């Protein structure tokens, strides 16, 4: 309005933001300020001077952007492009493009940062970053039982917000195959925490996710019973006289089942149990062989095979508990009404 008073506009700063306050940008943002850079990306108070050639090699969106001309705003004869993404996200995204190995794609950078990077890699069509993150998500939330067993400890360490982020990313970015495993993990490890956590949270899709968990929990109970029955029936109903330790195995199974039904502590009730694929499941005692167990090693191995077959069959049906299917098992069950 008036020209009185000294100008406090910092030198060499175009009028892109009106705030003359201190520009509190992290020192490390200088890593992405190259004196010979040919474009300046401006995110709020932060600026990154990088090379058009480098970002264009990776990003279809930047290729298209620069092919139709650049911005009218210039700073030191370099075009300035305003970016609406948060500076920290965009910094990490550019850094990954420039120094790929410096930005590790795993949970060590934080699950939410991983998903942020996926969002930007999708938005700006940077396939190598997108694919690296998708591959990583596939590896930690696998769709085969053997991979799940390998990843079990890691998966059970993922917390409610992380699993919910994974589910939403699966839907949003076309990585549907991670969704059943993430939903299962949410049910089996955190069912009691979900509603507690969701209070006061405004995460999109939350109601849908909680509803899927509630439905899934019930269905998993059913699946668990079917799985048990399948494994059991061979040991209990089979009348093949060649089955060496059948009577002893039956006795072991009766002990397990009776305990699980009658347990008054409320900690471990059969009808609440959905631990179908967990290493410390119902029958791990039989599988490992306790010292007092009378079933011989050979028959125990036979039992383990039965139980494994039953679990593999259950795994193939697990997504159905959430109204989903595994990706290669036919049509996508993504939409549930
Ligand atoms: Zn035997």
Kindly give the distance from the C-alpha atom of residue 144 to the centroid of ligand 1, in angstroms, as a whole number.
31
CA distances, 115 to each of 99, 167, 207, 228 (Å): 19, 11, 20, 37
**Which CATH code, of 3.40.47.10, 3.40.120.10, 3.30.710.10, 3.20.20.70, is assigned to 27-133?**
3.30.710.10
Q: Nearest-CA neighbor of 332 among 203, 170, 219?
A: 170
Output the pLDDT for position 22: 52
Residue ranges covered by each domain of the chain? 27-133, 159-337
The model's pTM: 0.82
pLDDT of 139-191, one tens digit each?
999 999 999 999 999 999 999 999 999 999 999 999 999 999 999 999 988 88
Kindly give the distance from the C-alpha atom of residue 238 to the centroid of ligand 1, in angstroms, as a whole number.
14
List the chain residues with pLDDT less than 50. Answer: 1-21, 330-337
Kindly give the distance from the C-alpha atom of residue 241 to the centroid of ligand 1, in angstroms, as a whole number.
11
Output the pLDDT for position 280: 73
70-73 contact pairs (CB < 8 A, 24+): 70/39, 73/14, 73/16
Kindly give the distance from the C-alpha atom of residue 278 to the centroid of ligand 1, in angstroms, as a whole number.
26
Kindly give the distance from the C-alpha atom of residue 297 to the centroid of ligand 1, in angstroms, as a whole number.
7
Output the pLDDT for position 248: 84
Kindly give the distance from the C-alpha atom of residue 159 to the centroid of ligand 1, in angstroms, as a whole number.
42
């Amino acid at each position: 309005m008036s020209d009185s008073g000294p100008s406090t506009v910092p030198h060499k700063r175009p009028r892109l933001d009106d705030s003359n306050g201190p520009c509190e940008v992290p020192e490390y943002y200088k890593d992405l300020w190259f004196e010979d850079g040919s474009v300046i990306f401006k995110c709020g108070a932060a600026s990154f001077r990088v090379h058009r050639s480098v970002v264009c090699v990776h990003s279809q969106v930047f290729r298209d952007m620069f092919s139709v001309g650049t911005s009218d705003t210039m700073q030191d004869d370099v075009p300035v492009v305003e970016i609406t993404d948060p500076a920290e996200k965009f910094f990490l995204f550019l850094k990954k493009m420039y120094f790929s190995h410096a930005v590790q794609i795993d949970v060590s950078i934080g699950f939410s940062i991983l998903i942020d990077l996926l969002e930007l890699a999708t938005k700006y069509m940077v396939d190598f970053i997108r694919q690296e993150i998708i591959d990583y998500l596939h590896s930690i939330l696998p769709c085969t039982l053997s991979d799940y067993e390998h990843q079990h400890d890691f998966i059970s360490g993922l917390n409610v917000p992380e699993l919910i982020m994974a589910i939403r990313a699966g839907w949003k970015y076309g990585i549907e195959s991670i969704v059943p495993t993430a939903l299962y993990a949410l049910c089996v490890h955190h069912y009691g925490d979900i509603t507690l956590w969701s209070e006061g949270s405004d995460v999109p899709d939350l109601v849908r996710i909680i509803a899927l968990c509630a439905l899934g929990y019930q269905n998993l109970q059913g699946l668990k019973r079917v799985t048990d029955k399948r494994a059991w029936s061979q040991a209990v109903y089979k009348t093949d006289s060649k089955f060496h330790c059948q009577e002893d195995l039956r006795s072991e199974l009766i002990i397990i089942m009776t305990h699980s039904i009658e347990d008054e502590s409320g900690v471990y009730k059969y009808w609440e149990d959905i631990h179908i694929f967990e290493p410390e499941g119902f029958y791990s005692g039989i599988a490992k062989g306790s010292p007092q167990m009378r079933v011989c090693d050979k028959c125990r191995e036979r039992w383990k095979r039965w139980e494994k077959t039953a679990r593999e069959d259950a795994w193939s049906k697990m997504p159905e508990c959430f109204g989903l299917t595994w990706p290669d098992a036919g049509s996508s069950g993504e939409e549930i009404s």
